[in-house]
A and B are shown apart, each in its own frame.
Chain A
Amino acid sequence: MKSFLGAALVLLAASSPVLAASALNNDTEVRVLVVTEGSKQEELVIAPGQTVQFCFSSCFVTMPDGDRFALSGNEVIEISGGRARIK
């Protein structure tokens, strides 16, 4: 009985995924990402070693070295050496 309840709860929890992109700054200096979400464009400042969650639906991101990416949520971005990589 308990396992049945547990299984039901697991299904419930699993059916709602967490959608947010996150960026991790592996450098020793502050990096700035330009995030365009909806109709707004804003700068996202990430301190060294910090992980920030942003972009809950979909957005465009411009990296410090000029690369542009379109994110649809759930991606993990790692910044190292000024270059960004998406996992």
Chain B
Amino acid sequence: MRTQMLAAVLRARPATTRAAPRFIRMSSSAHGQETFEAFTERYVNFFENAEDLFEVQRGLNNCFAHDLVPAPSVVEAAIRAARRVNDFATAVRVFEGVREKVENNQQYQSYLDELKGVREELGISTVEELYRQ
């Protein structure tokens, strides 16, 4: 009975009270865009807090999967994380990943120069140094 009355009231509602739907939005402009600085900070934090080798390698996979070259601070955090979990090979692999991501040898060389201090501090060789004939 009550539901019938309710339905009648609802039906009798004047059409002018209906608002136009407001849920229209641009389909391609609603994604959040992470800035490069935010990305860098996120991954530096990630690598500083990484506990084990799996976490470090998972973070590296994610970090190097983007369409950008990670900042030197990220690379430094990553190799320090590799040092913390005692995996030399991963530290070498980080530089190999940088070499894959940069556009040319010059950029790779500038990464190596930028990170020369930490490389010498930790004793990391690059693949080129290891397999130089």
Question: Does B bind A?
Answer: no
